[in-house]
Amino acid sequence: MTKTIHGFPPADMAAQETASTPVPATRVTKALAWGCAVAVTSLVTWWRLPATTRQTVWAEDGGVFLRDVLSNGHLRSIPLPYDGYLHVVPRILASIAHAAVPLDGYAVATSFLSCLVVALVSVGVFHLSRSLTGSVPVRLVLAAIPVLLPVGPQEVLGNAANLHWYLLWLAPWLLLYRPKSRLGSAAMFTVALATATSEIITGMFLPLAVWAAVKRRHFAAPAGLLLGVCLQVFTALTKPRFSGASPTDAADPWSVVLGFGLLPIGSIWHADSRTLASNIVMFGAWSLVIPALLLLGLLAYTLITGRSGLKIAAAGAFAASALCWTASVVLSGNTMFTYAMYTEADWATGFGYIRYAAAPAMFLLVLLPLALAAAQERGHIGRGTATAVAGMFVAFLLVSYFPATTVRQLGPEWAAGVGAARSACENDPNLTAAPASTAPAAWKFAQVQIPCQELRTR
């Protein structure tokens, strides 16, 4: 049986490195290498966004997070609930973006900081996944998933409002990894707490947190996750999302199942939702059979041939994908998820990929690297073949590198809106605030009222 690697090189290799290189120099070199990896990954993520998309503020980034920074200040805005939940990491990014650049640059700063967080998640998963497999090709594929997710640029990439989907993807990797130092434990606790206080659905990983604490004697990340989920539950109870009973009947069960095939699975195979909608009209649900069978084949292979750790990871990934999709759809209270009742006209004009597909799709994509790890450990393929398969998988994701459409591609550009608001304040000395628009235009907080004092001084 292959020995599980917990994040450190073999003792003889470590001894050779220590003997040949001074410890401070080694640490500096490693820090520079990790920093370069994050920088390059940030740029790869950033380049997936069209220019207008980067320059447009999306939804809560302006109408909630920036609004609260302007009215409550940086620190006091961070723990504020919105829509029944805490949004700690997105609010921190909004505060940093507001403080770091002139108000005109808030959209670009928020987009770049959000891409930076996705890059940190990517590089972090590469490191944390050492607790599951020592195969570098497999870990590189795992790291590529959040950055190259086909549906990413359409809505969730490059804005703080949707960072919680990437943090949800990070959560199980935090629980699997066991730090070896107090500093590492403190970091794991902090990141897990920040993750859970930004996404309430991380609560679905509490059984994994209990396993990590009981079986692996790893308490830092489980404690951070538990505390964060408790804070989220307290917030949901004291500041509920719905004033009355939650509309859990918004989507019928068959539409939820069909939606799982259409969005998490379908968005992997067809990056453009218009192509999938056309195929559904012409061929029905048969359009989803090939990608569904491929994913189920990868799951079955890992469950049959993989060691226990890989089997649990594969089953857990599939379950997390299905549970995340179901919880997102049911708890959203949105009546758009009636796919089972769509007419041909609905497919032509009403179907599109949305943010709820992102995290479930990432958990499904993990099935390939897990199957690759199982094949390599069982000797079914060698390192060279594993590297080739990993390369082909990344190439498959790169086909969808540039998005066909994004929800922010038509603007409105934030800098122009701030400029118009500033002119309004300058032309009317009695004016106390002026609006700047965000996307989407029909959203309830599509305009941010910016105090004229803020506009005159920044």
Distance (Å, rounded) from C-alpha 159 to C-alpha 113?
8
pLDDT of 400 higher than 50: yes
Q: Is the same domain home to 220 and 259?
A: no
Closest CA to 42 of 113, 115, 109, 97: 115
Q: Is the same domain home to 141 and 95?
A: yes
Closest CA to 397 of 205, 149, 160: 149
Average pLDDT over residues 243-267: 78
Q: Is the same domain home to 54 and 170?
A: yes
Residue 110 domain-assigned (yes or no) = yes
Q: Given pLDDT bands bounded at 50, 70 and 90, which one contains residue 458?
A: confident
Q: Is the same domain home to 59 and 114?
A: yes
Average pLDDT over residues 18-23: 46
Q: Given pLDDT bands bounded at 50, 70 and 90, which one contains residue 216?
A: confident
Q: Is the same domain home to 230 and 198?
A: yes
Q: Give the pLDDT confidence score for residue 12 in this predicted structure.
A: 43
Terminal-residue alpha carbon distance, the chain: 62
Query: Please, what is the angle between helix 106-128 and helix 23-46, to 10°?
Result: 130
Q: Is the same domain home to 318 and 458?
A: no
Provide the number of structural domains found in the chain.
Answer: 2
Q: Is the same domain home to 117 and 156?
A: yes
Could you tell me where the DSSP H helices lie in 216-343?
Answer: 220-238, 253-260, 266-269, 273-283, 289-305, 308-332
Q: Are 225 and 196 in contact (CB under 8 A)?
A: yes
**Parent domain of 304:** 245-378
Query: Please, what is the angle between helix 358-365 and helix 136-148, to 10°?
Result: 160
Instruction: State the amino acid at position 343 in one-letter form.
Output: T
pLDDT of 148 higher than 80: yes
pLDDT of 185 higher than 60: yes
Average pLDDT over all residues of the chain: 91
Residue 427 domain-assigned (yes or no) = yes
Handedness of CA 263, 266, 272, 276 (dihedral sign): negative
Distance (Å, rounded) from C-alpha 70 to C-alpha 435?
13
pLDDT of 93 higher than 70: yes
CB count in 10 Å sphere of residue 160: 28
pLDDT of 205 higher than 60: yes
Higher model confidence: residue 287 or residue 364?
A: 364
Residue 16 domain-assigned (yes or no) = no
pLDDT of 20 higher than 50: no
Q: Are 225 and 209 in contact (CB under 8 A)?
A: yes
pLDDT of 2 higher than 70: no
Query: Please, what is the angle between helix 367-377 and helix 383-398, to 10°?
Result: 170
Q: Is the same domain home to 181 and 284?
A: no
Residue 4 domain-assigned (yes or no) = no
Q: Is the same domain home to 139 and 279?
A: no
231 three-class SS: helix
Q: Is the same domain home to 282 and 336?
A: yes
Paired tokens of 51: 């220019």
pTM: 0.91
Distance (Å, rounded) from C-alpha 453 to C-alpha 458?
8
Q: What is the pLDDT of residues 64-89, one digit of tens each?
A: 999 999 999 999 999 999 999 999 99
Distance (Å, rounded) from C-alpha 455 to C-alpha 453?
5
Q: Give the pLDDT confidence score for residue 3 in this predicted structure.
A: 45
Q: Is the same domain home to 225 and 285?
A: no
Query: Please, what is the angle between helix 220-238 and helix 182-196, to 10°?
Result: 20
Q: What is the pLDDT of residues 349-381, one digit of tens each?
A: 889 999 999 999 999 999 999 999 999 999 999
Residue 348 domain-assigned (yes or no) = yes
38 three-class SS: helix
Q: Is the same domain home to 414 and 369?
A: no
Q: Give the pLDDT confidence score for residue 24 in this predicted structure.
A: 65
Higher model confidence: residue 18 or residue 157?
A: 157
Residue 82: beta bridge partners?
Answer: 85
Residue 1 domain-assigned (yes or no) = no
Residue 6 domain-assigned (yes or no) = no
Residue 66 domain-assigned (yes or no) = yes
Q: Give the pLDDT confidence score for residue 247 in this predicted structure.
A: 53
Q: Give the pLDDT confidence score for residue 234 in this predicted structure.
A: 97
pLDDT of 265 higher than 70: yes
Q: Given pLDDT bands bounded at 50, 70 and 90, which one contains residue 244?
A: low
